[in-house]
Each structure stands twice: as structure tokens, then as C-alpha cells.
Amino acid sequence: MKRFRQAVFNDYLLIIFGSALVGLSFNLFLLPARLAAGGVSGISTITYELYGFNPAIVQWLINIPLFILAVILAGRDFSMKSLVGTLFVPLTIWMTGGLKIGVEDPFLASIYGGILLGVGLGIVYRGNGSTGGTALIAQILKKFTGLSSGFAQLIVDGAVVLTSAFVFDFELALFALIAIYVTSKVIDFVQLRTSPQKLILIITEREEEVRTIIRDEIDRGLTKLRVTGGHSNKERTMILCVAEQAEAVYLKKMLNEKEPSSFVIFVNASEILGHGFSKERIYE
């Protein structure tokens, strides 16, 4: 129970920190460059340009019915975490309204803003929460369709950008799309915690020799599978091994020298859980 409470507390810390980054990306890059990069923030950018409405207030007002939707469709726990994000993003926008760093070039703003926004949303999603608005809709879409968070966000935000093209111009809408694309990629990167570990697949007829090389040279564990060649119809052994980047490079060299007949594949591993790499979150 203690670990469960600690995990929940950590989730809320991630949501608060990520939400602050989302708010900063809006005030520092997107709003000054007039980029309606999707979502409720994009709508608030449009209303600010047309009517001068305070973006923080607009976002709070729009998020109220969407939060009710979250309560109905996503469950209490998700909704409470979404409430935290829904409150903190506009709060950050309101508190940092006068903060400027002088980046108003649409291209630079789309890159910097997209990166900061993606990092913020990725951290919020890592905390199993949402920042409200269409980000919440994207999470619901992910839940029921199995799409990645980044791609779901890309679909939802595209509709807002299309609208903004008629309010501003198509050039700014294009830069907004760039920001959304960068955001979607950074979200998935942050969520997957892409790492330098390699998954190594070795198909060989000399199983013991390969096992010895892995054990003696890089001291890693392995998994064996029996496989059948599609062309020769002969049975072979496939060995799966996970190693650090430097270990994988060294293992490649050893296999080339000692077992050049083995068929070897190196694959980037997005995330490794378990003893020796990272620990899974444990709920008790």
C-alpha cells in the first residue's frame, strides 16, 4: 500500500510539472507567433487574436464540459488527474503572461514550442493524466482505439489547425502543423523513454559457441527459441539477448570473428524493464 501511494503521488508530481511546461510553451512560443497548434490552446489563440480574450480564462471555460465528459467516459482516477492538469495549464499561462523571450519567428516558434509542448504532454501522460481539452479527447481516443498518444493528438489537433487557417492565414497554419508534428513525435519519445539498449537476435546452428561468447564477453543473460528456416526447412536456434550500446558493438565484433556464419540482427529497444536495466513500478 505504501508503494502504491508513493506511485500515485509521483504521478501527480509528473502531471503538475508537465502541465507547467505545456503552459510555458504556449506563452513563450505559440501565442507570440500566433500559432494555433491545435487543442483548446489553439482555440484560445484564435479568440485572443479576434477578440482579445484572456487565453487562460478561455481555456478554463472550454475545459469544464470536457472535464465532465472525462468523468463519464474515463473513470474517476483518470478524471481527478485530468482535473489537476486542467487547472495547472491555464494557471501557468495566467501567472507567466508577461514572460517573453523574444522568439516570434513562426518557424523557430513551431520547433521550440513543439518540443517543449511535447515534453510537457509526454510527462503528463507518463503520470497517467491529461491537461484537459482536446488532449483529454486524444487520451480517450487512445483508450478506445489503441492509437499511440502522439498520433491521437495529431488527429484531434488537425481539425483545430484547419479552422485557424481561415482566421489567420495558411502559412501560419502550416507552421502550426509543424509544431503539432514535432509535439506528437516528442510525446511518443518521452513516453517510451527511448534508450540506447539493443535487442540482439542471433540465428545459429552453433548454439553453445554463441552462448559462450555472450557469457564470457559481455556477461548477459539470453533466451533460446527453436526456429525453422523457411528456405532450407532446417531447425536452428534463435538467441535473444539485450545489451547496452557499447556491449552490443563489442559483441558484434566478437561474433564476426568467432561465429561469422550466424545470422545477427540488432534492434533498438525503446524501453527495457527488469533486473539489470530498470525496475517496473510495483503496486502492493
* 161, pLDDT greater than 60: yes
Q: pLDDT tens digit string along 65-110?
A: 877 776 776 555 556 787 888 889 999 999 998 888 878 899 999 9
Whole-number pLDDT of residue 284: 38
* 217, pLDDT greater than 70: yes
Domain count, the chain: 2
Radius of gyration of the chain (CA): 24
Whole-number pLDDT of residue 251: 87
Q: pLDDT tens digit string along 7-44?
A: 888 899 999 999 999 999 999 999 999 999 878 888 89
In a domain, 283, yes or no: no
Q: Are residues 202 and 188 in the same domain?
A: no
Q: Are residues 111 and 245 in the same domain?
A: no
Q: pLDDT tens digit string along 46-70?
A: 899 888 899 999 998 988 887 777 6
Q: Are residues 117 and 246 in the same domain?
A: no
Question: What's 232's domain CATH number?
Answer: 3.30.70.120
Q: Are residues 216 and 177 in the same domain?
A: no
In a domain, 280, yes or no: no
In a domain, 35, yes or no: yes
Instruction: Look up the domain containing 82 and give its range.
Output: 2-192
Q: Are residues 20 and 123 in the same domain?
A: yes
* 238, pLDDT greater than 90: yes
pLDDT band at 282 (very low <50, low <70, confident <90, very high): very low
In a domain, 99, yes or no: yes
What is the C-alpha separation between 210 and 217, in angstroms, rounded? 10
Q: Are residues 77 and 187 in the same domain?
A: yes
Q: Are residues 131 and 171 in the same domain?
A: yes
